[in-house]
Amino acid sequence: MKFDVLTLFPEMFETLNQSILGKAQEKNLIDINLVNIRDFSKDKHKKVDDTPYGGGAGMVMRADIVYDAYKSVYKEGSKMIYLTPQGKTLNQKKVEELSKEKHLILLCGHYEGIDQRVIDKIVDEEISIGDYVLTGGEIPAMVLIDSVSRYIEGVIKNDSTEEESFSNGLLEYPQYTRPEIFEDQKVPEVLISGHHQKIKQWRKEQAIKNTLKKRPDLLEKYKFSKEEKQILENLKKQN
């Protein structure tokens, strides 16, 4: 998967060279190319923005400069995403869908915004990472790259994406490791029983319990098996 990021602050993306994404880049599983929009300014001061037509506070990124940056990386089949609080909120389903693309171009906005004409011309999809406003699109772009990369073959162990929160519609069950006793709290007995069937059943119960407690809204969409429905009924009775 190739990511081209159009940004005024390429240095911010240094963190993606660490940890799992750092290794994924070394192994060429993902390719993150940073494009400095400022390099496309023809102005001697490398200015990329100007005052808004119609007046008002702040500065607006120029359409021609953003367009030239885009043209430098666009290929047929590229998907162009603009990170903006006005976009559709990113969720796990969208992340999985985007991971099937070959080439994503991510446009990070700053200042008061970007000239609408270039947005209309080049953007396929607007994505927000939540209903709050950040100082720019760089952190949202990193969130998108991180979440999408986890679905690329070889980046993490396959069963990690299958079992984790959201992927199957439920939150995850709790995990434990050594020591067996921590501050008088013992690891749940079933996990040291070696009884795989019982462990599986317990984990399923815990996942449903966790979801019921923390994100009951997720259960409305979840397709329960008969056995899971019974677990949920029992949990509700206990409360």
Which residue in 140, 142, 206, 208 binds ligand ADE (CB under 6 A)? 140
**Stretch of 15-23, 91-99, 122-130, 216-224 contacting ligand ADE, by CB under 6 A:** 122-130
Task: For tokens 């690891």, name the residue.
Answer: 187
Contact pattern for ligand ADE over residues 77 through 116, marking x by CB under 6 A: ------xxx-------------------------------
Per CB under 6 A, 129 contacts ligand ADE: yes
CB 104 within 8 A of CB 3: yes
Work out how close the CB of 111 gets to ligand ADE at its nearest, in angstroms, rounded to a whole number: 11
Q: Which of 93, 88, 89 is nearest to 167 (CA)?
A: 93
Which residue in 12, 29, 63, 134 binds ligand ADE (CB under 6 A)? 134
CB 1 within 8 A of CB 31: yes
The Cα diameter of the chain in Å comes to: 71
Which residue in 57, 133, 178, 197 binds ligand ADE (CB under 6 A)? 133
Percentage helix, strand, coil for the chain under 3-state DSSP, each rounded to 5: 45, 20, 40
Q: Which is nearer to ligand ADE, 41 or 128 (CB)?
A: 128
In the chain the beta strands, taken as DSSP E runs, fall at: 2-7, 31-36, 49-50, 60-61, 79-89, 103-108, 113-114, 125-128, 181-182, 185-186
Which residue in 130, 174, 179, 188 binds ligand ADE (CB under 6 A)? 130
Q: Which is nearer to ligand ADE, 86 or 160 (CB)?
A: 86
Work out how close the CB of 145 gets to ligand ADE at its nearest, in angstroms, rounded to a whole number: 13
Which residue in 28, 132, 153, 221 binds ligand ADE (CB under 6 A)? 132
Spatial strand order in the sheet of 125-128: 31-36, 2-7, 103-108, 79-89, 125-128
Q: Which is nearer to ligand ADE, 128 or 149 (CB)?
A: 128
Q: Which of 212, 213, 83, 81 is nearest to 136 (CA)?
A: 83
Q: Which residues bind ligand ADE (CB under 6 A)?
A: 83-85, 128-130, 132-134, 137, 140
